[in-house]
Amino acid sequence: MDWASLLVECKENVRRQITPLLKGVSSKGPNLGVGAGGDPIKQADLAAEKAIIDTLTSHDVSFILISEESGIRQYGENPKRNYVTVDPIDGTTNLTRGIPFYATSIAVSSKPTMNSVHTALVADLFHETTYTAEKGKGAHRNGERIFPSNETSLEDAVIGLDLNTYKVNEIAPKVTKLIGQTKHIRHLGANALELCYVADGTTDAFIDIRGKLRATDTAAAWLIIKEAGGKITHPDGTQLNSKLDPKERVNFVASGNAKLHKTILNLIRA
Ligand code: IPD
Ligand code: CA
């Protein structure tokens, strides 16, 4: 099965299906219920998910879908052969507000665990930038091999930090030291894509320790960052692995290189 090509086809179909929904984006749009991951569903989320499922089923692929929106569903005759973990739209709020930073994220694995993901795609649907990775074959952006940054100085590093949480009183103290030593903190609003920015050296690190981000949003970018040569671990420095399930949440630090990674881990542990 040529998963790499199939995922590109899925992404193209997602783009086709959501394009009409982007015209005249000016309001937040209605909520269409609550997804398996616990957030309100928008029309674009459903259109993107349907585009992925339709593309795979049109090729008679058997798979178990693990989706932020529909939860877990089986397709085809031998579904347990392939697990397809999707966040149909990562950055839905950006999309619905007209902020040009949102993506589709698709990971294929042999088991429902992050460390068995073998093929991954995260596509920036506004800028037509597609990040892909296959286990053992490196990571690519629009077909060109990518590598993370060598930046090790906190003063010069651009560091993504997601602090979107009602539990900010609990989380913020853990990053106060880091913020105090960093000049360029960012949060762009689509965490799968922000992880890919670490993979290709656009930024130097990305941190999400809220206990809130779903494994479905992280699975594809996890392989992309690993294959690019970057670091992604649990905040205590241990390997990041997780069950792939719409309810599963992850905490992580991702960095372009081991030195910067160690510096960040030491500061957020303190
Ligand atoms: C969201 C984005 C956002 C993060 C949220 C996620 P979604 O993904 O990644 O940056 O702060 O926690 O839920 O909901 O648009 O798929
Ligand atoms: Ca989503």
User: What local confidence, expressed as pLDDT, does residue 61 receive?
Assistant: 96
Of 5-14, 28-37, 42-51, 225-234, the range with the lowest mean pLDDT is 28-37
Residue 91: C-alpha distances to residues 9, 75, 104, 169 (Å): 21, 27, 9, 24
- Locate the ligand 1 atom nearest the alpha carbon of residue 162 and give its number: 11
Nearest to 90 by CA among 107, 102, 108: 102
pLDDT band at 69 (very low <50, low <70, confident <90, very high): confident
What is the per-residue pLDDT across 104-157, written as a single tens digit (0 to 9) for each? 999 999 999 999 999 999 999 999 999 999 999 999 999 999 999 999 999 999
Q: Which fold has domain 3-145?
A: Fructose-1,6-Bisphosphatase; Chain A, domain 1 (3.30.540)
Query: Is residue 27 scored above 60 in pLDDT?
Result: no
Query: Is residue 40 scored above 60 in pLDDT?
Result: no
Ligand nearest to the backbone CA of 189 = 1
Q: Is the CB of 104 under 6 A from ligand 1?
A: no
- Locate the ligand 1 atom nearest the alpha carbon of residue 39 and give its number: 14
Whole-prediction pTM value? 0.94
pLDDT band at 192 (very low <50, low <70, confident <90, very high): very high
Question: To test the ligand 1 pocket, which listed residue (49, 104, 191) has its Cβ within 8 A of the most ligand atoms?
Answer: 191
CATH class of the structural domain 158-269: alpha beta
What is the per-residue pLDDT across 85-98, written as a single tens digit (0 to 9) for each? 999 999 999 998 88
Answer yes or no: are the C-beta atoms of 19 and 11 closer than 8 Å: no
Residue 57, both tokens: 């089923």
Cα dihedral 35, 39, 43, 49 in deg (nearest 10): -50
Q: Is the CB of 191 under 6 A from ligand 1?
A: yes
Give per-residue burial for 242-259: e unless 16+ CB within 10 Å, then b: bebbbebbbbbbbbbbee
Domains 3-145 and 158-269 are alike in CATH topology: no
Residue 38, both tokens: 């616990």
- Locate the ligand 1 atom nearest the alpha carbon of residue 214 and give its number: 13
Q: Is the CB of 213 under 6 A from ligand 1?
A: yes
User: What local confidence, expressed as pLDDT, does residue 34 receive?
Assistant: 67
Q: Is the CB of 165 under 6 A from ligand 1?
A: no
Of 17-31, 134-148, 173-187, 244-258, the range with the lowest mean pLDDT is 17-31
Domain ranges of the chain: 3-145, 158-269
- Locate the ligand 1 atom nearest the alpha carbon of residue 213 and give its number: 12
Average pLDDT, the chain: 93
